[in-house]
Chain A
Amino acid sequence: MSYCHDPLNFKCQITNSYPHFHNLQELHHSASLATKVFIQRDYSDSTICKFQTKFPAELDSRIERSLFEETVKTLNCYYGEAEKIGGQSYLEGCLACATAYIIFLCMETRYEKILKKISMYIQEQNEKIYAPRGLLLTDPIERGMRVVSFANTWDVFLSVGTTLKELCTIYKL
């Protein structure tokens, strides 16, 4: 894994300003992400959990490529760390085997600890980066670790905005 650093130290500029729409056309154009976008798994490194870092065209106008790639690479890093077969996994495996795996009733596995970190990271990314751009990143564990999905949170605003404009036109407000 060539790109791997402690994501908890990663700092990003927080921009709290929501994009300002001058007219409804801009809103329509920006909400071109009508359906969810799913980032598929990358199986080039066998069956370890890794997602494709190829930037999807549907997100072109919504988010900067570098931010997207940073998120996916960090997630890949976390999953790589969770599935790493090394000293710690051997120790955990042997200890668990010696206790007939009863120890897992009281102890959290390394994978579970990392899943919690991933969950917090995704929440943080949503708050800082994706929500201001009208996107919502879902945790892959909710999709069977098959996909990372980006949902458009502005579908609701779009439909409300369209209805209000139509009403104003009808009643000449």
Chain B
Amino acid sequence: MSAVMITRKVTRKWEKLPGKNTFCCDGRVMMARQKGVFYLTLFLIIGTCSLFFAFECPYLAVHLSPAIPVFAVLLFVFVMAMLLRTSFSDPGVLPRALPEEANFIEMEIEAANGNVLAGQRPPPRIKNVQINNQIVKLKYCYTCKIFRPPRASHCSICDNCVDRFDHHCPWVGNCVGKRNYRYFYLFTLSLSLLTIYIFAFDIVHVVLREYRNVFEHVVSLTPHCTVLEVLVCFFTLWSVVGLTGFHTYLISLNQTTNEDIKGSWSGKNRVQNPYSHKNIIENCCEVLCGPTYPSVLDRRGVMLEDSTSPNPSDASTHKSSNPVSQTTVRQHFL
């Protein structure tokens, strides 16, 4: 008896995920839907750096030191790596509750609320937990049908609950959450350094050129691109350096942008941040040197569907019936 295998395109779980994300590279890349501002970021960074490498670097390498362009290249590569890592990775999206879990939670809520009289509004769905001697309220998410873990929040743009939600950044085209916060911070930090670096060497270049012009009685105009670079860097500096400073402040206090905006731990009613270690070094270490959390959103797992192919091999049956334990762990990388 010969086995008949009907080959069909494998459906991966990312194709059926709820939420407003876009996926690329067969589920490996995950971004928000609106990517226009992200393309602008890419254009500004790559454009400015290209002009710098094309026009300033040859002059500076010859007249000052070849280390200048080398360091600029390294910094540029680092900035791009951090940007792409922030933009393409799962920020820490919490998958929605499956029906059984949602029903279980509903039963728990009904049991906790008791009998609600007809016409009366049911009490708000809140769970109180104690974290480091502080009562923290966990809110129920009606979209995801879960009680949000502490520090998680629902992003309305991506329509997902994100763990340790910081903010949704249109410049990187993704949410910033638990899994990609450190890449976001390193991106802003390295971009600040790159901007300052380019700005400084543009000024140096202009000064050197004008000095040579004056000394050698040569008239030549400062290239237009240098002026363009200086303008871009000048305006970028204020925003990016400011942002880096703000996030450095948040990291030292172990707070998220979301908590800061809402004033969750502003100190009124003696409410203090229960997540802070009360030590700046420890807070920084936890945020920047903590473990790399896995993605709990199974994007690349194979969808379990009714198989029409008779006599599947043992290996493929095992894989299709139990995809998560074998294949998912390695796929929690990005």
Q: How many residues of B contact A (CB 8 A)?
A: 47
Nearest B-chain residue to A141, judged by Cβ? B296
Q: Quick check: A100 and B81 within 8 Å, CB to CB? A: yes
B104-154 contacts to A, CB under 8 A, are: 104, 129-132, 136, 138, 146, 149-151
Q: Given the interface contacts A90-B285, A104-B292, A139-B324, does A44 sit within 8 Å of B104 by beta carbon?
A: no
B85: Cβ under 8 A from any A Cβ: yes
Nearest Cβ distance between residue A17 and chain B, in whole angstroms? 26
Residue of B nearest to A146 (CB): B146
Given contacts A100-B82, A139-B325, contact A35 B151 (CB under 8 A): no
Question: How many of A's residues come within 8 Å of B, CB to CB?
Answer: 45
**A111, B332: Cα distance in complex, Å:** 10
Q: Is there a chain A Cβ closer than 8 Å to B286's Cβ?
A: yes
**How far apart are the CA atoms of A45 and B149 in the complex, in Å?**
13
Q: Which of the listed residues A37, A104, A108, A143 has the most CB atoms from chain B within 10 Å of its own CB?
A: A143
The CA-CA distance from A72 to B293 in the complex, in Å, is 20
Choose among A46, A93, A119 the residue that contacts B290 (Cβ–Cβ < 8 A): A93
**Contact assessment for B131 and A43 in the assembled complex, using a CB-CB cutoff below 8 Å:** yes
Contacts of B291 in A (CB 8 A): 82-85, 89, 92, 109-111
Whether the Cβ atoms of B100 and A97 lie closer than 8 Å is: no
In the complex the two chains form, is B289's CB within 8 Å of A85's CB? yes
* CB <8 Å contact, B275 and A142: no
**Residues of A50-107 whose CB lies within 8 A of B:** 82-85, 89-90, 92-94, 96-97, 100-102, 104-105
* Beta-carbon contact of A93 and B288 below 8 Å: yes
Report the minimal beta-carbon distance from A82 to chain B, rounded to whole angstroms.
6
Q: Is the CB of B103 closer than 8 A to any CB of chain A?
A: yes
A116 within 8 A of B: yes
Is B302 in the interface zone, CB < 8 Å from A? no
Asked if B81 and A46 make an inter-chain contact with CB atoms under 8 angstroms apart, the answer reads no
Asked, given contacts A112-B333, A119-B325, whether A141 binds B294 with beta carbons under 8 Å apart, the answer is yes
A111 to B150, CA, bound (A): 21
Are the CB atoms of A111 and B324 closer together than 8 Å? no
Min CB–CB distance B238 → chain A (angstroms): 26
Counting CB contacts under 8 A, is B94 at the interface? yes
Residue pairs across A and B with Cβ atoms less than 8 A apart, 21 shown, are A36-B101, A38-B104, A41-B149, A43-B129, A44-B130, A44-B131, A46-B274, A83-B290, A93-B290, A96-B292, A100-B78, A101-B82, A104-B333, A109-B291, A109-B333, A112-B329, A122-B325, A123-B325, A141-B324, A141-B332, A146-B94
Interface of B toward A, CB cutoff 8 Å: 77-78, 81-82, 85, 94-95, 97-98, 100-101, 103-104, 129-132, 136, 138, 146, 149-151, 164, 183, 186, 274-275, 285-286, 288-294, 296-298, 324-325, 328-330, 332-333
8 closest pairs, A vs B, by CB? A100-B81, A93-B289, A144-B95, A144-B296, A43-B129, A109-B292, A90-B289, A119-B325
- Report A's interface with B, CB cutoff 8 A: 35-38, 41, 43-47, 82-85, 89-90, 92-94, 96-97, 100-102, 104-105, 108-112, 115-116, 119, 122-123, 139, 141-147, 149
Q: A109-B294, A109-B333 are in contact. List 20 more A-B contacts (CB 8 A).
A: A35-B103, A38-B101, A43-B136, A44-B131, A83-B290, A85-B290, A92-B292, A93-B288, A96-B292, A97-B186, A100-B81, A111-B292, A112-B330, A112-B332, A139-B324, A141-B329, A142-B324, A144-B95, A144-B296, A146-B149
